[in-house]
Amino acid sequence: QSVLTQPPSASGTPGQRVTIPCSGSSPNIGSYSVNWYQQLPGTAPKLLIYTNNRRPSGVPDRFSGSKSDTSASLAISGLQSEDEADYYCAAWDDSLNGPVFGGGTKLTVL
Amino acid sequence: QVQLQESGPGLVKPSQTLSLTCTVSGASISSGAYYWSWIRQPAGKGLEWIGRIYTSGSTNYNPSLKSRVTVSVDASKSQFSLKLTSVTAADTAVYYCARESESPHLFDNSGYYAPWGQGTLVTVSS
């Protein structure tokens, strides 16, 4: 069981807006920023959002992140078929003294 | 453009040592405020942080693996390595190397990983 909790699946239709939540606790999200990764089928994860809400160069502004207290969320607007992937949240955890990941959310574009 | 590439045996016998190398190109492994990290992913499962080494040579390891893990760096070859001893079937996974950048926020330990290597599958089996 992962330290950070994500729903195992999410879905939406093209053009729709979907959000993926990530729930943590005081030693992790409550104290540190959250990063998000996108893993397309058969490929390595790719940084999608860092430090809660910053987008690396090349990531479309359809992707956005937010954090409040011990939870974070990833929002994808204008959903596209190529957004179908696994999404992981991550944050530092004082109990582990290292980074922890969520269990991942598989996004299906219907 | 920084690129990372994992290499090493794809099959390791139980109780033996798993050894992987990550070759960094496009940047100096010994400059900048970066950690060089290892992360693994069992088939169909999530990501697990294994450990990391800083530019200075200091290391941090996942407590659940700490007794079996060593991460080292060879700056002359622009490589860093992972050794995991006494492996079992539970260590079968895709192993990724990645560069970790420090958060831009003061006192924020949540570094972020970019780029990642393509990953290498290591199977533990006799």
Q: What is the pLDDT of residues B77-92, one digit of tens each?
A: 999 999 999 999 999 9
pLDDT at A105 over 90: yes
Residue of chain A with shortest Cα separation from B5: A44
| A34 part of contact set with chain B, CB < 8 Å | yes
For B105, the closest of A51, A56, A103 (CB atoms) is A51
- pLDDT for A78: 97
- pLDDT for B55: 83
Contact A101 B105 (CB under 8 A): no
Positions in chain B whose pLDDT score sits under 50: none
- pLDDT for B30: 87
**Collapsed DSSP state (helix, strand, coil) of residue A83:** helix
Contacts (Cβ under 8 Å, ≥6 apart) of A96:
A3, B62, B63
Q: What is the pLDDT of residues A39-98, one digit of tens each?
A: 999 999 999 999 999 999 999 999 999 999 999 999 999 999 999 999 999 999 999 999
For B112, the closest of A2, A35, A98 (CB atoms) is A35
Residues of chain A positioned with their CB less than 8 A from the CB of B104 = 51
Distance CA B120, CA B126 (A): 19
- pLDDT for B125: 97
